[in-house]
Amino acid sequence: MSTTQQAPPRLYGGWRKAKSMGIGLLNTGQTVIVVIAVLVPIFVTNVAGMATLVITVPLALVVIALACWQRHGMPLLDLVVGRARWQWAYWRGETSYRALYLPHPRALDLPGLLAPTKLLRVEDTNGGGLAGLVWNQATGQFASTLLLSPNGTLLGSRGQAEHQVSSWADTLARLADEEVVDAATVTVQITPSSGAALADHARARMAPSAPSLAKETLRELVEATPRASATMAAWFTLVVNPGRAPERPSTPAEAAAEALRCLDGVDLGGAGAEVLRRATDVDLIRLVRGAFRPDELDAPAAEIAELTWDQAGPVAADDWQTRYDHDGYSSVTWVLREAPRKVVPYSVLLPLLAPGRFNRRVTVGYRVLPTEEAAAVVQREVNASDARQEYRAQTRRSTTRRERADAEAADRTAQQEAHGAGLVEWSVHVTITARPEDLEAAKREVAQIAKKSGGLRFRYAYHSQAAAFAAGLPVGVHPLAA
């Protein structure tokens, strides 16, 4: 008798935050601030005398504390600066948007980072049909989108799922060869259903001649899971800058053609997602309008087709420190604070994609570094790690296990890049949208889900909720694409 032993599941890990050279655990920016804070009192003393130490030393200590202490994974100085910038914008009225009172020619602008965007309806000369492109007139970037139908991994084998992960890695690596590609995002939007659609679906397909036990079992299942059904939409957005092409386009039409060429070169077939079609201008209006007004996400196609790009946005919006209010709804966005320190299976994101009571949007953003830039980045990381190790040796400070693990990860990344692997910067945004009276319950739902996500740690998008909200839309707005 022979037995077959199943191979252990493949695990993934080795992610690390980019770290530059600095004193101890400080990065370059923090080190510069600390050094300046130390030198300023000395300089002022030489110029104005010892009496100035009463003022300069406490100020220097405050600056050093703000630069070194961290909260929510960020230096306190960054939080203070972010709060000051938001407060200044609030005083100037820049955190509120009212479409009805915008003067000409801004009357057709969308709020915030979406203001310079323009929706284009283009036709592929190669017979690919119509497509919608979002042109950011401020940056020159074009965003093109593919509508997807995820196959999922729950009903597939483990080997198939691991193959899909490898195929997705190959897809990202191929983007490194495209000079014009700035970033790519994958968004999954989960819209809960009351269960009526599920009940109607089951009732219409129940055969009159079916056994009574089968009928009763199906009825109990439908009644017991009124909130389990959900509508899931997914899309892939590619952000390109045609101005970096070897033959720079001279007209917006040529730039749009370059954006479509890059989108057509993306192969998602092996990554577990079926491409439905390119997103048209009507599709983009529906997705954006549905984000601001979830109750209109399923509006009739004829009604959506009559809307213009400016009508896809809200009539009124307010950007607060930890929430974004828009047209009777409130949204809260979290950003990735820390990747898992341990190795995780391919299913690490499944809890975030499970249906819930409220509208949820999960966006994973990528920036694939070109080969030359990737080599420079990993070398800089290794040099910074070596410098920190030399500093610890000279100060006779022992190395912690976490510091050793980080140094090993930097060396391993450099070794993999030297053998041809690509380097990717990535982040995750999670946005929940609900009525203001249900917002606290929605936030608790995300907090519970985040605890099950295999070591992913999130924080609020402090003082930038509107920008983080836009990052989950198919409009090309993403921090990695800046």
Is 55 inside any structural domain?
A: no
Q: Which of 237, 277, 286 is nearest to 259 (CA)?
A: 237
Is 259 inside any structural domain?
A: yes
Q: Which of 333, 319, 324, 327 is nearest to 90 (CA)?
A: 319
443: containing domain: 109-193+229-369+422-481
Task: Report the Cα 12 to chain-centroid distance in Å.
Answer: 20
131: three-class secondary structure by DSSP? strand
Q: Which CATH number is 352's domain given? A: 3.40.462
Measure Cα distances from 316 to 311, 326, 379 in Å: 12, 6, 48
What is the structure's pLDDT at 19?
66
Is 126 inside any structural domain?
A: yes
Q: Is the dihedral of CA 40, 42, 47, 50 positive or negative?
A: positive
What is the structure's pLDDT at 419?
65
Q: Which residues have CB under 8 Å from 176's CB, separation 6+? A: 368, 369, 370, 371, 374, 422
pTM higher than 0.75 = yes
Is 137 inside any structural domain?
A: yes
Q: Which residues have CB under 8 Å from 85's CB, separation 6+? A: 463
Number of structural domains in the chain = 1
Contact 248, 98 (CB under 8 A): no
Is 20 inside any structural domain?
A: no
Q: Could you give the dihedral angle defined by the CA atoms of residues 48, 49, 55 and 61, in that order, rounded to the nearest 10 degrees?
A: 110
What is the structure's pLDDT at 270?
79
Distance CA 254, CA 442 (A): 44
Encode the chain (482 residues) as per-residue pLDDT tens digits. 444 556 677 888 778 777 666 665 666 777 778 888 888 888 888 878 787 878 888 888 888 788 777 777 777 888 888 889 999 999 998 899 987 665 555 455 788 889 899 999 888 655 567 889 999 998 889 999 999 987 766 656 777 888 888 888 888 888 887 888 889 999 999 988 655 556 666 777 778 888 888 888 878 877 766 555 678 889 999 999 988 777 788 788 888 888 888 888 888 877 878 888 899 999 999 999 999 999 888 788 888 889 989 889 999 999 999 999 999 999 999 999 888 888 888 888 888 988 888 999 999 999 888 777 777 777 777 777 777 677 677 777 777 777 677 777 777 777 776 766 677 888 999 999 999 999 999 999 999 998 888 788 899 999 999 999 999 999 988 776 55
Structure tokens at 109: 């602008």
Q: Which of 315, 345, 417, 335 is nearest to 375 (CA)?
A: 417
Contact 100, 440 (CB under 8 A): no
- Ranges of H-type helices in 279-426: 281-292, 301-305, 371-394, 401-418
What is the structure's pLDDT at 2?
47
Q: Which of 343, 427, 344, 421 is nearest to 377 (CA)?
A: 421
Is 360 inside any structural domain?
A: yes
Is 215 inside any structural domain?
A: no
Q: Could you give the dihedral angle defined by the CA atoms of residues 365, 146, 325 and 120, in that order, rounded to the nearest 10 degrees?
A: 120
123: three-class secondary structure by DSSP? strand
Contact 99, 93 (CB under 8 A): no
Is 362 inside any structural domain?
A: yes
Measure Cα distances from 110 to 115, 250, 292, 330, 336 in Å: 5, 27, 12, 18, 26
Q: Please, how many CA atoms are within 13 Å of residue 160, restricted to the half-sphere of its CB?
A: 10
